[in-house]
């Protein structure tokens, strides 16, 4: 199926990107020119419902008024000082975020993978200086199917060959166990283990939700065995999974939160590691940092994000509308067009029946119907609309999704499983 742009104007814009930009992404052929709330608009004026939210970075919608106001107010003051000096917005931000997380301290960075790298350094430092692990022997347990970013260290413990191939040698110190298997985590812990690092819900893998009780068991095991529980909530947190943090789904509090994406409100890159003083307090001047980490503009926006989450409205919208979305897609399973649907808040992974084609082909059909979603691993479509989406918009996305699957089935000649075949004579 040829994935063609909807106009010559967009083709020209795409050709420029493909000519001068490195080919490290494979986007759908749509060129976004503006956005507001749940909608984006392409160069030709076509409007689309955004069902990706920039991988959860735009949880609160494009241009949320409170976040834009915070950014505009700070733009007129100061945007960057580096951490060589104190800045006015820094203290209020780290205080608000620490209190929201129920922790003592915050170490802000920029991108999600920077926060993951910071968490790795934090765990190793804690292991050597507090737990007494011999220097150079620290191990971190990670999950199969994980996605924590694409730096050299992080891809060293990825199972994704697209991310790993041709980038060796890899960084040692990581032990893989199956995601969702608490017993395997316990078996893998030894005297040199300093942390268990995991996503409470694996987003890039296809919105993989672990078995009920997994988070509770991991919390009990790590506490008992004296290792840090590090939750990468970069995509799953800040309202996406129907609660402030995905760990809240089981009432679990990790030792370390890793946050990003929505923390910057879709306006600035902003990430953070949040933990108690006995963990983050081990860092001394010169041991870690970032020129842009904790910059005044990002901090002002981050404080506004924490304020948005303080009412619980976004989390409740995610929970209720996510259930509505999931129920509306049930016909895909009934018809046999989808083989599985996983949902946590306003975050859904839909596995496409391979007889209908690839997930990207379905995403293209959705694009033509003016819904933007993202495929992953060939067969899964991820839906993650902004949490400000309305019931009517959810229903609109459902209708377009059912129609896109039906068209794909008709094109491939796939018979609906929920329809009795006609018997001649």
Pull the structure tokens for residue 237: 């947190």
Residue 49 makes CB contacts below 8 A (sequence gap 6+) with: 38, 39, 370, 371, 372, 385, 389, 393, 396, 397
Catalytic residue among 232, 255, 351, 375: 232
The tokens 């895909």 sit on which residue? 332
Q: Is 261 a catalytic residue?
A: yes
Q: Is 103 a catalytic residue?
A: no
Catalytic residue among 147, 198, 245, 405: 147
Note whether 37 and 386 are within 8 A (CB).
yes
Note whether 389 and 348 are within 8 A (CB).
no
Residue 1 makes CB contacts below 8 A (sequence gap 6+) with: 357, 361, 364
247 closest CA partner among 199, 185, 310, 176: 199
SS3 of residue 193 by DSSP: strand
Distances (CA, A) of 82 to 86, 234, 292, 331, 348: 8, 23, 6, 53, 38
Q: How far, in Å, CA of 79 to CA of 374, rounded? A: 33
Q: Is 232 a catalytic residue?
A: yes
Catalytic residue among 103, 261, 360, 374: 261
**Active site amino acids:** 147, 232, 261
């Amino acid at each position: 199926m040829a994935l063609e742009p909807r106009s010559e104007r967009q083709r020209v814009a795409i050709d420029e990107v493909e000519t001068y930009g490195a080919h490290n992404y494979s986007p759908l052929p749509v060129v976004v020119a503006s956005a507001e709330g749940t909608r984006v608009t392409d160069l030709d004026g076509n409007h689309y419902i955004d069902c990706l939210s920039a991988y959860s970075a735009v949880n609160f919608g494009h241009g949320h008024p409170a976040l834009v106001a915070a950014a505009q107010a700070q733009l007129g003051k100061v945007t960057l000082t580096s951490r060589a000096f104190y800045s006015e917005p820094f203290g209020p931000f780290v205080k608000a975020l620490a209190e929201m997380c129920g922790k003592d301290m915050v170490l802000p960075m920029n991108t999600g993978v920077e926060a993951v790298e910071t968490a790795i350094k934090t765990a190793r430092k804690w292991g050597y200086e507090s737990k007494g692990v011999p220097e150079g022997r620290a191990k971190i347990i990670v999950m199969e199917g994980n996605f924590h970013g694409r730096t050299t260290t992080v891809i060293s413990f990825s199972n994704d060959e697209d991310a790993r191939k041709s980038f060796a040698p890899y960084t040692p110190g990581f032990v893989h166990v199956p995601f969702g298997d608490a017993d395997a985590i316990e078996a893998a812990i030894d005297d040199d283990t300093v942390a268990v690092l995991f996503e409470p819900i694996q987003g890039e893998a296809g919105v993989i939700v672990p078995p009920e009780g997994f988070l509770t068991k991991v919390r009990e095991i790590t506490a008992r065995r004296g290792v840090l529980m590090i939750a990468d909530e970069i995509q799953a947190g800040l309202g996406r999974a129907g609660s402030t943090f995905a760990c809240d789904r089981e009432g679990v509090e990790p030792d370390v939160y890793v946050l990003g994406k929505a923390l910057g409100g879709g306006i600035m890159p902003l990430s953070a590691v949040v933990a108690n003083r006995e963990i983050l307090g081990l860092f001394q001047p010169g041991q870690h940092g970032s020129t842009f980490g904790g910059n005044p503009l990002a901090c002002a926006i981050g404080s506004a994000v924490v304020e948005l989450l303080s009412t619980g409205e976004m989390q409740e919208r995610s929970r209720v509308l996510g259930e509505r979305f999931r129920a509306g897609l049930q016909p895909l399973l009934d018809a046999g067009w989808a083989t599985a649907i996983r949902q946590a808040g306003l975050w859904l992974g839909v596995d496409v029946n391979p007889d209908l084609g690839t997930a990207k082909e379905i995403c293209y059909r959705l694009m033509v119907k003016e819904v933007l979603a993202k495929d992953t691993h060939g067969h899964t479509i991820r839906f993650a609309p902004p949490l400000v989406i309305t019931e009517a918009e959810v229903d609109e996305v459902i209708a377009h999704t059912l129609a896109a699957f039906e068209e794909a089935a008709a094109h491939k000649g796939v018979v609906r499983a929920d329809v009795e075949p006609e018997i001649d004579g």
